[in-house]
Amino acid sequence: MGGIMKLGNSVAVGCVAGVSLCAACAQIVAPHETLEPPSGPIVVNAGFSPVPRIPTSAPAGPASQPIDLTPFYGKASGTEGDAWFTHEDWKIVPKGLQTFDGILFDVSGTMLLRGTSLPQLKEAIRGIPIQRRCRYIHLLHGLGYSDNDGTTVAVMELHYPDGQQRDIPIVVGIHVRNWWKEPQEPVSEVFDLGSGVAWSGQGTYPAAPTSVRLFRSTFVNPRLNEPIDHIDFVSKNSRAILCIVSISVGYQRPVTVAKPAAP
């Protein structure tokens, strides 16, 4: 299976632990409706997340709009995100409405999904209402603990009013990494061209402080002309714990600038 990997300023087509990243000159074309099977969930290549070539017929719309996740944060949904959000290192994370890479996010809580490191967490978070058309789905997220590159930690399920579903895997090393940057971390980058570190800071916990970070991943709506009704996140029970901080949807492409390497 082919994939895109960022290698300095170049782009290589290859494969990371069997995760397919479809590419053509580092530009992805959103799939046409005529290519879709008549029914059932479709697994969308992780490689749809790089900024695509957009069909001229795609509708215009608002730049980016954060989704209200208040009913899904923390203990309200059984994910124990309240304790995570009040952790010592979370105190340095900017709160409220924040703009990262030109995308507006609402940093007001966290949603955590089960992994083998914390099996008591919730296996799925379902029914997050979107109910609008959009070109991009932007996630602000990170991992608690980690796993091998190429491991799928969760699936983002996009549900449409006509009952159709599109599944987008969220993959370690492709879209996201441990929010604690371990000193011995062999690779700090993520390989998806539509993902990167959105924010980083210097943590104070544990006894040996390390830098902390949140990642922004941008995915293309596979059905540009159809509104997304709701989104579900389903754990794949890896060792890593997916922490979703914010979701924003709209028509704004992320604007990235070179960031200094985290200490």
Instruction: Convert the pLDDT of each residue in 167-187 to its tens digit.
Output: 999 999 999 999 878 777 778
Q: How far apart are CA 185 and CA 16, in angstroms?
A: 17
Closest C-alpha to 190, from 221, 232, 153: 153
Q: How far apart are CA 76 and CA 40, in angstroms?
A: 31
And the tokens for 122? 């919730």
pTM for the full model?
Answer: 0.77
Phi, psi of 47 (to 5 degrees): -75, 0
Q: How far apart are CA 242 and CA 115, in angstroms?
A: 8
pLDDT above 70: residue 248: yes
How deeply is 35 buried, as exposed, middle or buried, from its count of CB atoms within 10 A (0-12, 13-18, 19+)? exposed
Name, in order, each residue with C-beta under 8 angstroms of 224's C-beta and a sequence gap of 6 or more: 30, 54, 55, 58, 59, 133, 135
Which residue type is seen at 1? M
Which residue type is seen at 51? V
Q: Mean pLDDT lowest for which of 9-18, 39-48, 93-102, 212-221?
A: 9-18
pLDDT above 60: residue 157: yes
Q: How far apart are CA 23 and CA 1, in angstroms?
A: 11
pLDDT above 70: residue 28: no
Q: Which one-letter DSSP state was computed for residue 91?
A: G
pLDDT above 50: residue 86: yes
Peptide bond into 206 cis (omega under 30): yes
* pLDDT for position 117: 87
Q: What's the average model confidence in pLDDT over 134-163?
A: 96
Residue 30, SS3 per DSSP: coil
Q: What's the average model confidence in pLDDT over 35-62?
A: 48
* pLDDT for position 69: 96
Residue 71, SS3 per DSSP: helix
Closest C-alpha to 21, from 53, 54, 49, 51: 49
Residue 64's H or E segment, with its range, is strand 64-66
Tell me the pairing of strands 103-107 and 96-100. Answer: antiparallel
pLDDT above 60: residue 238: yes
Q: How far apart are CA 91 and CA 89, in angstroms?
A: 5
Q: What's the average model confidence in pLDDT over 257-261?
A: 51
